[in-house]
Amino acid sequence: MTTSVKYLVNFVISEKMATQVEPPNGIGTQGKHYYSMWQALFEIDTKYVPIKPIGRGAYGIVCSSVNRETNEKVAIKKIHNAFENRVDALRTLRELKLLRHLRHENVIALKDVMMPIHRRSFKDVYLVYELMDTDLHQIIKSSQALTNDHCQYFLLQLLRGLKYLHSANILHRDLKPGNLLVNANCDLKICDFGLARTSSGKDQFMTEYVVTRWYRAPELLLCCDNYGTSIDVWSVGCIFAELLGRKPIFPGTECLNQLKLIINILGSQREEDLEFIDNPKARKYIKSLPYTPGTALPRLYPNAHPLAIDLLQKMLVFDPSKRISVTEALQHPYMSPLYDPNSNPPAQVPIDLDMVEDLGEEMIREMMWKEMLNYHPEALTGEPELLRGLKYLHSANILHRDLKPGNLLVNANCDLKICDFGLARTSSGKDQFMTEKPIFPGTECLNQLKLIINILGSQREEDLEFIDNPKARKYIKSLPYTPGTALPRLYPNAHPLAIDLLQKMLVFDPSKRISVTEALQHPYMSPLYDPNSNPPAQVPIDLDMVEDLGEEMIREMMWKEIDAAAAKAMEYMEQVANSYLGRVDQPNPG
């Protein structure tokens, strides 16, 4: 591109700064600070320094900010009472789920989602995006001159980003100038994915309110049940026309008026071009409109480049099956001199964004919380799943004996499961001593003890009574005195209740260490934990085994375990079949 597309606008940014305020009721949260903007309170992480308000609307309030840890400029959007409207809450959840997977220079990046304090009751959501200067709607309505180079460059980036989205199986479904962010260098990024869906064929029915009317494709206006990526191409055509003419091409006042405006410009359609309309009443309405030859696009945009007009005509085609695709648009002579397909690789894997649409507030909040954990894996330790699983094991008389991050499996929804029971034993009092081969062989065992003492501090005599090995007790007492290290110093951003619970877990004397049940009842966990949803094991498990078994005996015992598991699986499958045929109640997987 020529340099004429650079520094499109000298953006005038307000000098009004956000005002730092005291927390509500004077009670703040560690790791958070508070600012007032447009009479709204921002409770944000201390690493973000709000600079000034950017904008506000039905979506929430946005301020520009700087991440003090990376020195990166960001935009923070606060969604107030995010769950007040279920449809809006689903839009936010959809955007969170989608942006976690998307990585493209022409798609807005979601940098962070701030973790709320209370998992079950948080109301506000804070989304942190890369900072852009304005949007295409503001540029179009400004007095800034737009050359052919500007239009070409904006369209190139929009098509690049859209090609990436379509390769990821995503339909944006709400492309419009206001959802295209731009900076002073004319870099463009697609944003607002609250209405996006996968193009897998599921959930294809579109409500009337999806896609802003002026940019809505004919197949949506005519309530066609099936649609595809061509709906986004139509929207791009409308945006392109608006760039060329500095006003919307189809500014309809309602759905039927929108269709009339489209026909007035494109002209009356042939019978064969109406075959995609599967609603008889909709097809009848289109055929009832007075004949019109349409309006030639060169008359509407006399100053546009001829190749721009040709591409626009191929985008604004009534029949979606004859509309140009994004890939074809990028190969069009108006775009091809600028487009390098090697610099625009497709998404690595298609994205499945299907969600149940009738979720309640509690479930939406829970799913949103789990999405937030993708940006804050360190907060996973505050999840009750580990303690819930451990409580169940202890109720079954089982000590895991090898809990570590590598033995905690997590899926994309942040559901956690304990694994690797190869070192597990019953807690019956038998076989409590580990085999003579230490689990951590070598001199690091002593170093491990030193590290523990350095943080917990030197122990009192009474806290060493549990050590029944005189040499071991003597070693601990021989270590130099240390007051230890305060945990709040190690974890300055942690919640005070998290620190309190951690202190109760990391107690040297096991008799004074908090139990799993007590941990779940701790104020840090109790708001999240429902004991009724975590019943104990039905019977304690006896895992006593002779440790010096030979290979043949181990193989025989393993075969019996496999045979028993297979028999149980067959019994369950028979229950499933009978249940399907209506002969018995729902199966119990045991």
To the question of whether residue 78 is assigned a binding role by annotation, the answer is yes
| Residue 349, token pair as written in the block | 């894997």
Burial class (CB in 10 A: 0-12, 13-18, 19+), 64: buried
| 180, 189 Cβ separation under 8 angstroms | yes
Instruction: Read off the amino acid at residue 403.
Output: L
| 244, 312 Cβ separation under 8 angstroms | yes
Cα–Cα distance for residue pair 415/370, rounded to 1 Å: 8
| Residue 214, token pair as written in the block | 């002026």
Cα–Cα distance for residue pair 217/262, rounded to 1 Å: 10
The conformation of residue 461, written as its DSSP 8-state character, comes to: G
Element (H, E) at 63: strand 60-67
Q: What is the sign of the dihedral through the CA atoms of 258, 263, 269 and 271?
A: positive
| 190, 165 Cβ separation under 8 angstroms | yes
149 among known catalytic residues: no
The conformation of residue 491, written as its DSSP 8-state character, comes to: -
Number of H helices and number of E strands within the chain? 18, 17
The conformation of residue 325, written as its DSSP 8-state character, comes to: P
| 244, 182 Cβ separation under 8 angstroms | no
Residues 6+ apart with CB under 8 A from 499: 487, 488, 491
Please identify which of the residues 45, 112, 133, 174 carries the catalytic annotation: 174
Provide the b/e sequence for 503-519 (b: ≥16 CB within 10 Å): ebeeebeeeeebebeeb
Cα–Cα distance for residue pair 501/506, rounded to 1 Å: 9
* Other CB atoms within 10 Å distance of the CB of residue 329: 26
Instruction: Read off the amino acid at residue 404.
Output: K
R_g of the chain, CA atoms, integer Å:
31
| Residue 176, token pair as written in the block | 């419009």
Helix (H, G, I), strand (E, B) or coil at 82: coil
> Residues within the annotated binding site?
78
- Cite the active site residues: 174
